[in-house]
């Protein structure tokens, strides 16, 4: 029997833990997030603050870039063409389909079929249909698996996003990135394992810091927001008038005083504190270096588009995501707002697709050319999809689509997932999944699986029970994996 491979670097950090506990052993240099978690972890294989000692299954991917499309983009204008809707445009939806099913803002309104002006073309070797709003994505479909059979449990934004992020509709559980940080730790001793980047400020819907929360897991696994423009990490910059040398002098004094306290008191927590202050100092260099795009060649901006030069755009965040991936950040969460198209959907889809199309395609190409795509999983999804029914007058030009939880489309690429394929199918109205449903819990289970984790075994005990990302459900979807 083959043993699952161990996680590189853990042996070394176990040694570090021992060093912590031996009084006076201060030869340790660089201690980071990984080691801090490890130092606090205790002896159990997955202790209360622990990291996994070995993979449950052979890992395919090392990290995830999660492109969250906040608000819920329409599958009908992107990846799931339904000619029948155009034929029946303006006609009532068959009530056999919709009776008793949940809608959000359409509560109490007549349900009328809505077609689309989009044109679809078969792309890549597998002939995956992609709309004309995504000309750049059309060219990279050989890397992508489109999942047309996504399903969720939540009909509104707040519970929907919370569910996609944490596997539960109510707040309080850890987000996926926190679980991965908890299970696998960080590969970079100068950066957190879980980082979150936002774009689309002011567009619907809103966002909450709890979308990248550590929930009941220790706060060290909390996603750290990488912000732009301005100070990229909260409190990263020294106060005005304090240069790095002065900061270093202060830290040297703090370290000296803390060490003498450690000798008196003997609490290993002080050793951890010393290490974390050193880590903070290193972050003051490593983070600006990370966010400085000035050395990126022109060819890179050609890949992601000119928007990538503008801090805080989705394009710039995609480029940063690649830089984070290169540096071994475990879970890179992009959150782009602007997809909640209850009205004006035709025009607004043109706008939003334009913002994400080239950056997404550019990211895939860039990861591929650097050899990173094979062990970086890229996921593109909203919290749900949109209805085949119109919101507003289906014949005017200002209609939109309501929230749809029974069927929506996401895509995945890289990280040992299948490339160039369509997974699952919806009925001719795009209302129900008729083939290979992938529930959010299943997507979570499959993502963990790709990272070497059995979703049933990565657990944390809180309030009387062992919790996991997939709550009490979820199954790995082999059909998604290469």
Check residue 286 for interaction with another protein (CB under 8 A). Answer: no
Check residue 203 for interaction with another protein (CB under 8 A). Answer: yes
Kindly indicate which of the ranges 31-39, 129-137, 373-381, 421-429 contains the residues binding another protein, using the contact rule CB under 8 A.
31-39
Check residue 219 for interaction with another protein (CB under 8 A). Answer: yes
Judged by CB under 8 A, which of 273, 309, 368, 475 binds another protein? 273
- Could you say which residues in the range 315-374 bind another protein, by CB under 8 A? 337
Nearer to another protein, 46 or 300 (CB): 46
- Could you say which residues in the range 440-469 bind another protein, by CB under 8 A? 456-457, 461, 463-465
Nearer to another protein, 335 or 429 (CB): 335
- Least distance to another protein from the beta carbon of 130, Å? 28
Rounded to an integer, what distance in angstroms lies between the CA atom of residue 86 and that of residue 277? 61
Kindly indicate which of the ranges 89-97, 275-283, 351-359, 369-377 contains the residues binding another protein, using the contact rule CB under 8 A.
275-283
Buried/exposed code over 138-170 (b: 16+ C-beta within 10 A; e: otherwise): bebbbbbbbbbbbbbbbbbbbbbbbbbbbbbbe
> Applying CB under 8 A, what is the total number of residues that bind another protein?
89
List the structure tokens of 11: 């042996």
Q: Which residue, 336, 357, 73, 308, is CA-closest to 199? A: 336
Judged by CB under 8 A, which of 8, 27, 29, 230 binds another protein? 230
Nearer to another protein, 5 or 266 (CB): 266
Nearer to another protein, 141 or 155 (CB): 155
Check residue 257 for interaction with another protein (CB under 8 A). Answer: yes
Q: Which residue, 49, 4, 12, 46, is CA-closest to 29? A: 12
- Least distance to another protein from the beta carbon of 73, Å? 16
Judged by CB under 8 A, which of 201, 244, 351, 398 binds another protein? 201
Rounded to an integer, what distance in angstroms lies between the CA atom of residue 250 and that of residue 44? 37
- Least distance to another protein from the beta carbon of 456, Å? 7
- Could you say which residues in the range 2-21 bind another protein, by CB under 8 A? none
Q: At which residue do the structure tokens 């997507």 appear?
A: 443
Helix (H, G, I), strand (E, B) or coil at 123: strand
Judged by CB under 8 A, which of 57, 126, 280, 300 binds another protein? 280
Rounded to an integer, what distance in angstroms lies between the CA atom of residue 219 and that of residue 267? 20
Check residue 378 for interaction with another protein (CB under 8 A). Answer: no
- Least distance to another protein from the beta carbon of 407, Å? 18
Q: Could you tell me which residues are beta bridge partners of residue 246?
A: none
Which x/- pattern over 145-164 shows residues binding another protein (rule: CB under 8 A)? ----------xxxxx-----
- Per-position DSSP letters for 266-319, written without gaps between them: --HHHHHHHHHHHHHHHHHHHHHHHH--TTS-HHHHHHH-GGGGSTTSHHHHHH
Q: How far is CA 121 from the centre of its chain?
A: 28
- Could you say which residues in the range 402-421 bind another protein, by CB under 8 A? 402-403
**Structural element, H or E, at residue 130:** strand 128-131
Check residue 188 for interaction with another protein (CB under 8 A). Answer: no
Rounded to an integer, what distance in angstroms lies between the CA atom of residue 218 and that of residue 461? 12
Nearer to another protein, 396 or 463 (CB): 463
The set of residues, in sequence order, having a beta carbon less than 8 Å from that of 143 and lying 6+ positions away, is 364, 368, 373, 413, 414, 419, 420
* Kind of pairing between the strands at 385-391 and 400-404: antiparallel
* Kind of pairing between the strands at 144-151 and 421-423: parallel
Check residue 105 for interaction with another protein (CB under 8 A). Answer: yes
Nearer to another protein, 57 or 280 (CB): 280
* Phi, psi (deg, nearest 5) at residue 18: -60, -40
- Least distance to another protein from the beta carbon of 288, Å? 13
- Least distance to another protein from the beta carbon of 184, Å? 17
- Per-position DSSP letters for 433-469, written without gaps between them: EEES-EEHHHHHHHHHHHTT--TTT--EEETTEEE-T
Judged by CB under 8 A, which of 9, 124, 172, 288 binds another protein? 172
- Least distance to another protein from the beta carbon of 3, Å? 18
Nearer to another protein, 36 or 421 (CB): 36
Nearer to another protein, 86 or 105 (CB): 105
């Amino acid at each position: 029997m083959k043993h699952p491979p161990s996680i590189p670097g853990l042996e070394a950090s176990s040694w570090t833990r021992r060093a912590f506990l031996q009084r006076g052993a201060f030869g340790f240099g660089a201690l980071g997030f990984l080691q801090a978690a490890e130092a606090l972890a205790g002896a159990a294989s997955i202790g209360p603050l622990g990291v996994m000692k070995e993979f449950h299954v052979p890992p395919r991917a090392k990290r995830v870039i999660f492109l969250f499309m906040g608000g819920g983009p329409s599958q009908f204008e992107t990846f799931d063409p339904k000619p029948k809707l155009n034929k029946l445009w303006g006609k009532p939806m068959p009530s056999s389909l919709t009776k008793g099913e949940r809608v959000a803002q359409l509560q109490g309104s007549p349900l009328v079929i809505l077609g689309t002006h989009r044109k679809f073309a078969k792309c890549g070797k597998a002939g995956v249909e992609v709309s004309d709003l995504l000309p750049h994505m059309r060219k990279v479909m050989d890397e992508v698996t489109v999942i047309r059979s996504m399903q969720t449990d939540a009909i509104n934004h707040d519970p929907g996003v919370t569910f996609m992020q944490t596997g539960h509709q109510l707040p309080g559980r850890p987000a996926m990135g926190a679980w991965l940080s908890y299970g696998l730790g960080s590969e970079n001793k100068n950066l957190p394992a879980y980082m979150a980047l936002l774009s689309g400020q002011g567009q619907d819907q809103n966002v909450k810091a709890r979308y990248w929360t550590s929930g009941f897991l220790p706060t060290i696994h909390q996603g750290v927001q990488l912000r732009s423009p301005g100070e990229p990490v909260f409190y990263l910059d020294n106060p005005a008038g304090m240069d790095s040398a002065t900061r270093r002098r202060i830290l040297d004094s703090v370290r000296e005083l803390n060490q003498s306290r450690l000798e008196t008191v003997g609490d290993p927590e002080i050793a951890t504190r010393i290490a974390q202050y050193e880590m903070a100092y290193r972050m003051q260099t490593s983070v600006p270096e990370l966010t400085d795009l000035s050395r990126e060649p022109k060819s890179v901006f050609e890949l992601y588009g000119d928007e990538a030069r503008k801090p805080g755009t989705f394009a710039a965040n995609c480029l940063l995501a690649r830089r984070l991936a290169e540096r071994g950040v475990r879970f890179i969460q992009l959150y782009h707002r602007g997809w909640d198209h209850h009205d004006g959907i035709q025009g607004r889809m043109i706008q939003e697709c334009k913002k994400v199309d080239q950056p997404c395609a550019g990211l895939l190409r860039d990861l591929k050319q650097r050899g990173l795509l094979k062990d970086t999983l890229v996921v593109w999804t909203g919290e749900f999809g949109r209805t085949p029914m119109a919101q507003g007058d289906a014949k005017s030009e200002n209609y939109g689509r309501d929230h749809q939880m029974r069927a929506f489309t996401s895509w995945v690429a890289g990280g040992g997932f299948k490339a160039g394929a369509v997974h699952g199918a919806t009925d001719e109205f795009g209302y129900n999944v008729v083939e290979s449903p992938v529930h959010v819990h299943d997507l979570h289970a499959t993502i963990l699986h790709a990272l070497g984790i059995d979703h049933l075994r990565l657990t944390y005990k809180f309030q009387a029970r062992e919790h996991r990302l997939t709550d009490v459900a979820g199954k790995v979807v082999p059909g998604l994996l290469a």
